[in-house]
Every structure is written in C-alpha cells, then in structure tokens.
Amino acid sequence: MHKPLSRRQMLTGGCAALSLPFLDAMLPRPVMASERATKPRMLFVYFATGVCNEQWYPQQTGKDFTFSPTLKALEPHRDDVTVLSGLRHEFDFNGHSAADTWLTADNPAGNNSISVDQLAVPHLGNDVRFPSLQLSVNSGTGKKRLTHTLSFNQKGTPIPAQSDPRNIFNRLFVAPDAKSLAEAERRLLSRKSILDDMRQQVSAIQRSLGDSDSKRLTEYLESIREVEQAITREEAWLRKPKPEADAAILESGGHRIATKYNLIQLALQSNSTRIISYLSSREITRAHGDSHHGGQPEKLARLAESDRQQVELFSTLLTKLKDTPDVDGNLLDNTMIVFGSGMNNGDGFKNGTGSHGVRKIPLIFAGGRNFGIKNGQHLMFPDDKTTFGQVFVTMLERAGLPDAKFKQYETGLSGLS
C-alpha cells in the first residue's frame, strides 16, 4: 500500500533521509485519470420527518413494480434506482433524533461513533482535495439528538457542516490570490511548528504521569498527529489550481436544495471530493407538525406534496449526474447514493395515525452501476430485522474497502449487489 510518509517520520526515522528532506513520497498521491475509473463516489442525502407512507411505497416488489405517486418523478431513472422498503436501524428511539445516527447506526441514547462516510475516507478521500464534505441546511454541528451534520469522526464527535452555498462554492472553486496564498502558507508552517512543539511538551508531561491521565494526553498526541497530516495535505493542495466553475449556478437553482444539488454535482464531477453527506432538512420545521398527522387527510396531503417536491429535486440531481460523462460511462454510474429519511411516521407501510418509529424507514438507493450495484427494483424487507447498516456494508464492499464491515454488520444487503 502506498502511504504518504510524513516529514517528521523521515526526520525521526533515520539520519540517512536527512540529506533528502523532501521526497515525492511525502506528497499526497496524485490523481491519475486511470484511477478515477476505479474509485467510486458516495453521496448520502437525508431528509427529516419521514414521508406520507401510502403515497410513497410502491404496491409491487421486485423488478416489475409501478412507481408510487410520490416516487413518480424517478420513473425516467428506473434502471438507476432501487426502492428499499422495511429497513431499520438496530436501536429503537424517537424518530426525531434519527439524523444523529442515520449514518452511524449507533444507539442514540449513548455516545455516538464513526459514520459510514468517514469510515470510507481513508480509502476514497486521501488523494482528493477534500477527503469528505458535509453539507447541511444549518451550519455547524447542532446539538446531541438534534444534529446539523450526518458525519461523525472516530470519537463520535460531530463534524461541522456547511450550509451557505456561496461559502461552499468559494471553498471548492475559488482560488485564493497570491497574497492570501503566501499568508496561508506561512500560517500552515507556523501551525505545524506549534504542533510540533506541543508534541514535545506533552510527551515530557506524559512520562511523569500515571495511567488515567495519560489516556487523555495520548488522545491529544494522536490528535496532533492527525492535524499535522491534515496540514500536510492542505499545503500540498494549496498551490494546485482549483477546478473552474461558474458562480451562476448559485442563482440558478431556484429551490435551496436544488442549489446544493448543483454544488454536489460540480464537486463530484471535478473530483474535488468523493464523499458527501447532506442533511437537507431538519426536524424542527412546519413539516414537523404535519408529520404528527394523526391520520388527518389535510396533513397527509401536505406531507405527500412536500415528499413529491423532494423526490422531484432528487430526480433532477440524478439527471444531472447521468448527463455528466465520466470514466466508463457517466457520473451516476460511478456514484453510490442513498436518499431517505430516518423515521417512519405511519403504521408499517400504511399511514395509520403517525408513530414516529425508526423501523421501516423510507430509503432510495441510486447509481453505482459500475461498481456492481443492481438497480431497477423494489426490495422489500418486511421482517423488521434487516438493517440499514447492511446497505453500508454493501457500499463499503463495492467501494473496494478491504475487510468491508460496518461495526456489528458483516454482510451486505441481499439483492442490492
């Protein structure tokens, strides 16, 4: 395996290397066209408060299903989507907290742990400018059980998301001028030396300490190392040109979600990143009232209408990805997408009176043809036992991760690949 050597490793590793202070091996691996073909993209799109069940779930299963009223807009993409019905996460909890654990499959009552997108980062994110992107309707991390982000790091700490389309655009596509470049370089250098200094200080303290304290300091040291790696990466990318894009897409979307989808499409197309999580709506909205529909027709109608709008926007994204040529076909074929919610606000697949459970959550899988994903079907898992986590295993496995597992889940979802 090709693993970048840090400068520090070199310096501390042996004096022979000292005469060659900067080796190519220390740079992040360059992006090569031939490699793009072999590495997939992953996209996770979450929306809040579930759906109007009876309008969402198709009546038939298997290949010959008819699109339901809500999913009608996906008809043109029939061969590129799979409706996943009946999946759940392992832990029962209030559905309004579902976003916190949507990608972590953890117990919302306890402390969170790493999300699937972050698990894929070492494999898919090391040779692109942004190892992963977190987009959201609200920026930052939010609160526990009311997250603003779908992504969580190794320690279960939420990774702050970005919401302002223009900031995202700037980060992805706007090159800094010469002055700010020089400033940025000096800043990174200074940070590196600060961190280096801290490492020495901490190691000195650590030697004089008992075990309970050294745990926190070890964490601290590990963190220093990781930040240093991030800085090295940032340095290496600093002077590489950013891909070009027209800022007009920020105005052209119409709906705020459409604008984000435009950015997502551009980010994936330009290979700025391969992994994106996007929390497209949060639980505290007007729609929240409707999700407690109690079986009332007018609320259900409002829910169904907003579902339809969601799906239409999503369908537009799929069209865009499909229209983007990429290695071995189009971008959609190279992107594995999960689109869905974390809550079932009906009774089973019926509307019922609204339960806010986290079993039988509405999900759509899309894309990934070049990686062996089988689409064009309605997969039904009525047993309340098959888990969403298995979808993650399939994705990791298809992405080529060695030893593809996700926490307690070891097997992928049958029928999806």
Partner 1 sequence: MALSLCIRIGACLACLLLAVVPSRAEDGSSRQLFLKRFCVECHADGAQEGDFNIEPLFAQHDAVAGSKHLMLYERVFHQLSKGKMPPEKAEQPSAVERKRIVDGLGKVLSKHVDSAGSRDARPFRRRLNRYEYQNTLCDVLGLSREVFGFRPFYDTLPEDTATDGFDTVGDGLAVSELHLELFLRLAERHLNLAMDWGRPTRHWRWDYAEPGTETERALKSKQKSGDRLRSEGEEPSGIVFFDLHGGLDNGAFDQDFRAERMRPDRSLLNSKKRLGFPIFDDGVAVTFDEFQVGEFYVTQPGIYKYRIRCRAAVDEVGLENPVSMQVYVQADKNNGELARTVQLPSNQWKTHELTLFRELKEVRVGDNSSLNVRLRFHTEHRYRGPRPGQQKGEPPPDLPTLRDFYHHLVEIDYIEVEGPLPTVQEERLRISGILPLDQDELTVVRQVLTRFLPRAFRKEVADEKIEHYVERFQAERARKAPFGEALQATLMAALISPDFLFVDNSPAAARPGEILSPHALASRLSYFLWSSCPDEELLQLATSGDLNKPDELRRQVRRMIQDRKSRAFAENFASQWLHLREIDAMDPDPDLYKYDKRLEDAMRGETLTFFNEVLRNDFSILNFIDSDWSMLNERIADHYGIDDVRGEHFRRVKFEPEHHRGGVLGHASILKITSNSTRTSPVARGVFILENILGDPPLPPPDNAGELANKVPGLDEVTLRRQLEIHRDVASCARCHNKIDPIGFALEHYNAIGVWREHEADGLKKRRPSAKIDATATLPDGREINGPDELRLALMEQPDAFTNCFVEKLMVYALGRSLRFQDHAEIARLCEVLKENDYRMGLLIEELITSNAFRRY
Considering only residues 66 to 95 of the shown chain, the ones binding partner 1 according to CB under 8 A are 90-92
* Least gap, CB of 250 to partner 1 (angstroms): 9
Question: Rounded to an integer, what distance in angstroms lies between the CA atom of residue 230 and that of residue 209?
Answer: 29
**End-to-end CA distance of the chain, in Å?**
27
Question: Is residue 184 part of the contact set for partner 1 (CB under 8 A)?
Answer: no
Contact 376, 128 (CB under 8 A): no
Told to check if 359 binds partner 1 by CB under 8 A, we report yes
As measured in angstroms, the least distance from the Cβ of 141 to partner 1 is 4
Q: Are 176 and 184 in contact (CB under 8 A)?
A: yes
Of 71 and 361, nearer to partner 1 (C-beta) is: 361
Q: Is 350 in the site for partner 1 (CB under 8 A)?
A: no
Task: Report the Cα 289 to chain-centroid distance in Å.
Answer: 28
Report the half-sphere exposure of 104 (CA within 13 A, side-chain side).
Answer: 28
Does 158 sit near partner 1 (CB under 8 A)? yes
Contact string (CB under 8 A) for partner 1, positions 204-223, x = contact: -x--xxx-xx--xx-xx-xx
Strand-pairing partners, residue 336, are: 42
Query: Which own/partner pairs from 412-416 qualify as long-range (CB within 8 Å, at least 24 positions apart)?
Result: 413/84, 413/87, 413/379, 413/386, 415/374, 415/377, 415/379, 416/82, 416/84, 416/365, 416/373, 416/374, 416/379, 416/391
Q: Is residue 143 at the binding interface for partner 1, with CB under 8 A as the rule?
A: yes
Given the complex with partner 1, which of 375 and 390 has the nearer CB atom? 390
CB neighbours of residue 362 within 10 Å: 28
CB of 40: closest distance to partner 1 in angstroms? 25
Q: Kindly identify the residues of this chain, within the stretch 243-282, that bind partner 1 according to CB under 8 A.
A: 247
CB of 299 to partner 1, least distance (A): 9
Shortest distance, CB of residue 9 to partner 1, whole angstroms? Answer: 17
Among positive and negative, which fits the CA dihedral 87, 114, 263, 137?
positive
Judged by beta carbon, residue 218 or residue 411, the one nearer partner 1 is 218
What are the residues facing 143 on neighbouring strands?
Answer: 146
3-state secondary structure at position 391: helix
Residue 3 or 286: the one with the smaller Cβ distance to partner 1 is 286
The residue (of 215 and 240) whose beta carbon lies closer to partner 1 is 215
**Total binding residues toward partner 1, as defined by CB under 8 A:** 68
**Segment contacting partner 1 (CB under 8 A): 13-21, 51-59, 264-272, 356-364?**
356-364
CB 111 within 8 A of CB 150: no
* Binders of partner 1 in range 276-335 (CB under 8 A): 283-284, 286, 288-289, 292, 294, 296
Does residue number 106 form part of the binding site for partner 1 (CB under 8 A)? no
Q: Give me the least distance between CB of 268 and partner 1, in Å please.
A: 22
Nearer to partner 1, 296 or 324 (CB): 296
Q: For residue 207, give Cα distances in angstroms to 210, 211, 218, 245, 280.
A: 8, 10, 11, 52, 47
d(CA 346, CA 355): 6
Which amino acid is located at 202 in the chain? V
Nearer to partner 1, 295 or 325 (CB): 295
Exposed / middle / buried, residue 207 (Cβ in 10 Å: 0-12, 13-18, 19+):
exposed
Quote the least distance from Cβ 135 to partner 1, whole Å: 17
Binder among 17, 202, 327, 401 for partner 1 (CB under 8 A): 202
Residues 6+ apart with CB under 8 A from 135: 161, 162, 163, 168, 260, 263, 264, 276, 277, 278, 279
Which residues does 200 contact at the CB level (< 8 Å), separation at least 6? Answer: none
Cβ closer to partner 1: 243 or 352?
352
Question: Which residues form the interface with partner 1 (CB under 8 A)?
Answer: 90-92, 96, 107, 109, 111, 140-146, 153-155, 157-160, 166-167, 170, 174, 186, 189-191, 193-194, 197-198, 201-202, 205, 208-210, 212-213, 216-217, 219-220, 222-224, 226-227, 230, 247, 283-284, 286, 288-289, 292, 294, 296, 347-348, 352-353, 355-357, 359
